[in-house]
Amino acid sequence: MLAIKENALFVADSHYPHHGDDFLALLQKLDSGEIQTSQLFLMGDNFDLLFGYNDYIQTFSSEAILLLETLSETLEIHYFEGNHDFCLGTLFPHIKVYSREEQPVMFQLEDKKVAISHGDKYVTGFAYDLYCKILRNKIILTLLKPLEKAIINHRMKKLSQKHICFTFHGFEKRVEAILTHYADADLVIEGHFHQSKKVGKYISLPSQACQGLVAQVEEGQVVFKQL
């Protein structure tokens, strides 16, 4: 089982480039050495829209993509694909990329078993699960290439106008249902919900786009902070 190291950094739901440049700024500071970390956990939806098998979509985030490629040559990076960024394995060959199907992934933090996932794996419904399978299908993505610019431009415009920061009323109930799938974990770390909350053993990471925060391991504890 892989270990989560002291000073590891967790960055979730940056939604770059439409909802601020914090993600790009963080990558630049990691590249310059202004910010240092032992591991980088990208928890999904770090890009507002990015997927493999498509060159055009990369043009919207080319600087951040290049920085990640550079950083991955010397820094241990784990990327948990979200519902906005997926099929990234070929795009980031030096990053350990986990698809939705591979999540959650078990890690060790001192004496604790930690389950890590983007957060859209459980308690989602059949229709959403089917949508995810279709959307991530290589054949379908390839077939759509002749229409890629029209489809992507339309989608990018919609995403730029989307309200992504909100209070999830009844969130504790959702967490209770999610945790039924994590009986063997001592700690659960997920993004996706943009809530920046701890509910028992469940850590709902802050959204970098909404709260302007990340999470970092300090003395064996996961703390939320502004860098």
| Residue 147 reports pLDDT greater than 80 | no
pLDDT tens by residue, 10-41: 999 999 999 999 999 999 999 999 999 999 99
Q: Which stretches does DSSP call E strand in 60-219?
A: 77-80, 85-86, 96-98, 105-109, 112-117, 187-190, 197-199, 202-204, 214-218
pLDDT tens by residue, 98-130: 999 999 999 999 999 999 999 999 988 787 777
Omega prior to 104 cis, within 30 of 0: yes
The pLDDT assigned to 126 comes to 80
pLDDT tens by residue, 48-97: 999 887 888 899 999 999 999 999 999 999 999 999 999 999 899 999 99
| Residue 146 reports pLDDT greater than 70 | no
The pLDDT assigned to 155 comes to 82
Number of Cβ within a 10 Å radius of residue 200: 11
- Closest residue by Cα to residue 69 from 17, 115, 16, 31: 31
Sign of the Cα torsion 100, 102, 108, 114 reads positive
Sign of the Cα torsion 112, 202, 191, 225 reads negative
pLDDT tens by residue, 164-215: 999 999 999 999 999 999 999 999 999 999 999 999 999 999 999 999 999 9
Residues 160, 49 contacting (CB under 8 angstroms): no
Within 13 Å and on the Cβ side, how many CA atoms surround 61?
A: 31
| Residue 132 reports pLDDT greater than 90 | no
Sign of the Cα torsion 128, 133, 138, 144 reads negative
Tokens of 70: 């550079």
- Closest residue by Cα to residue 202 from 226, 217, 182: 182
Tokens of 116: 């890590």
| Residue 136 reports pLDDT greater than 90 | no
Residues 23, 14 contacting (CB under 8 angstroms): yes
Which residues have a Cβ under 8 Å from the Cβ of 170 and sit 6 or more positions away? none
The pLDDT assigned to 200 comes to 96
Q: How far apart are CA 56 and CA 2, in angstroms?
A: 35
CA 37 to chain centre: 17
Within 13 Å and on the Cβ side, how many CA atoms surround 123?
A: 14
